[in-house]
Structure 1
Amino acid sequence: LDHLRLVSLGMRCWQDIEQYGLRIWFTDPDTGSILHLSRSWQRSEQENSPAATRRLFSFQAGALAGGQIISQAAKRSADGELLLATRNRLSSVVPLSPDAWQMLSAPLRQPGIVALREYLRQRPPACIRPINQVDNLFILPIAECISLGWDSSRQTLDAQVISGEGEDNVLTLSLPASACSPFAVERMVALLQQTDDPVSLVSGFVSFVEGQLTLEPRVMMTKTRAWALDAETAPVAPLPSASVLPVPPTAHQLLMRCQALLIQLLHNGWRYQEQSAIGEAELLANDLTAVGFYRLAHVLGQFRNTESEARVEAMNNGVLLCEQLFPMLQQQG
């Protein structure tokens, strides 16, 4: 890969009993492909050398996570791993700028949460999409933060922000606390609270949490610079106290769990998750029975002993039942 320019999309640090490590994602603006740098080290080294301060190809990880790579000698492996040459300054890193993200196009950069929902709804299920290690990483705009709170029971910072045009344009950001990047949540708080240089774009991984589309932020972009959250190495700001996400009643929570399971199965197919999905459906069916959702519980119970066509019909029936039950619960509430 000659004369390559790679734009950072963010970094995630991790740790287990024996090791700690990181992964940084980049995109090539010309092709839209996503590559990654990954490294791990022994846990015994972590106290003196946190992941964000480690050097990869002579560059500090935090600088790579918040930067752009200009390289004349880069290689990629079959699984998307990026290898850089550092001799004779064949590779260099410059800070990530808002303009760099503005060059990126769909599907990676979306105009708002409404457009992202529509894109996710229309794309093929994962079982028939091209094999790609990363297909849930996106960039979205942020106009303003309307609520921000720390949920101590989940050890998660939640925020609700306006993202793009449309009526249903509130995006939920959720960032769990992590022992290997302990100041990421504090940096997120400070960025969403500042008014002199507000956040305008965010990159992160989207998922459905209890039926709601949620983004776990990796990089937050203001008008002047990029902030890689996991690269923060010092205390920044106190956490807010109140949780901003309402706690749904049990019946509503069960419906959201059911909806999330159906979405997962319809998107990803049964091939690699059959036993786990059947087990989850049966547990959920028991809970649904306990609150009186007998028909929906019966539908989920049909997953085990049915062929593929009957399963598809059962899933469609489940979707229709959820759509009927949600408005009924809202009227009662």
Structure 2
Amino acid sequence: MRPGDEQAELRAAVRSLLARHEGAAAWRPLVEQIGAAGLAVPEEYGGAGRGALETHVVMEELGRVLSPVPYLGSAVLTVRALLASGDRAACADLLPALAAGTSVGALAWAEDGSGDPARIRTEAESGGGPRLTGVKEHVLGGQDADVLLVVARSAAGPSLFAVPVDGPGVTVEPLETMDATRPQARVRLAGARARPVGAGGDGGRVLARALDEAVVALAAEQVGGAARALERTVEHVGNRVQFGRPIGSFQAVKHRLADGYVMVESARSLALAAATASAEDSPRLPLLAAAAGSACAEAFSAVAGEMIQLHGGIGFTWEHDAHRYFKRAHGSGLLLGTPSRHRGRLAAALDLVPGPSRAAVARP
């Protein structure tokens, strides 16, 4: 069977499963029937040994239904950070349960509205084993996590640590977010016991790689959400009649839908190119991740906005899903870096930014 056929079968299986299991109830079937949590985990750690292209398929399908399952936080961010750390002992200890879906992980790095390692203030205090003190914001799926991977400052520089969520000195507070389909939490650490993961001072590199992988996965999700929003809008304007004819027959509406289609398909191409770069471990990954992160976020926001407008009055109500796509689009556009931030990274990678300005756009 060709790789493309396998991915088509995976897509069909995930779409069928999500049609039968709505919301958070889809997580157990996804991990037990499809093995979604372990797709990108090497076989030696209990996974399927696949990669970014399979993750791309799953994320696109999750995006179509605005699924709240912890796939991005656990199966992408946490798994990718562990693998990037190169710590075989930590991988052997943590990845099998993550791959099986019996454990959920969360990567905690952001503080003070920024994911820049230079702005991290959480401290790793030595003596009797590392103890972490600080506050992490916007931790994806933190309230459902069993294990936290925390980026903190140490004597060697930014470093990665594993922290048990139920350990002393750890408090997890669910956050009220605009997008209720994307659970986030605040994690307070007060002398929490931690285990070093990877080499000391290597946290910045590990975080950069994990975030690039996550931006690529999020781009696929954004494409899925945008495509579904466009499909539903086309269906609506084909059925909604005014002045004796479907509103989709009006030239102005056709133009808006055509513009949306071009944006979605362009974003789809960039998202797939970025996933391919990740699967091939290409040095172009940071560049393509930035390009996809910008284009896919903007396409989703534009199409979700048109969904609201072209649905008319009902698009503004709680009775219709249009507001959910709109909120997911704008929330995901801020999650791992804004489109302008990604374009800044892209410009820096292409040497379009003067030298002194490059450091400001070096991170998502």
For this structure pair, what is the TM-score category when the shorter chain's length is used for normalisation? under 0.3
Relative to total residues, which structure has the larger strand share, 1 or 2?
A: 1
Larger Rg: 1
Q: TM-score, normalised by structure 1?
A: 0.27
Tell me the TM-score normalized by structure 2.
0.26
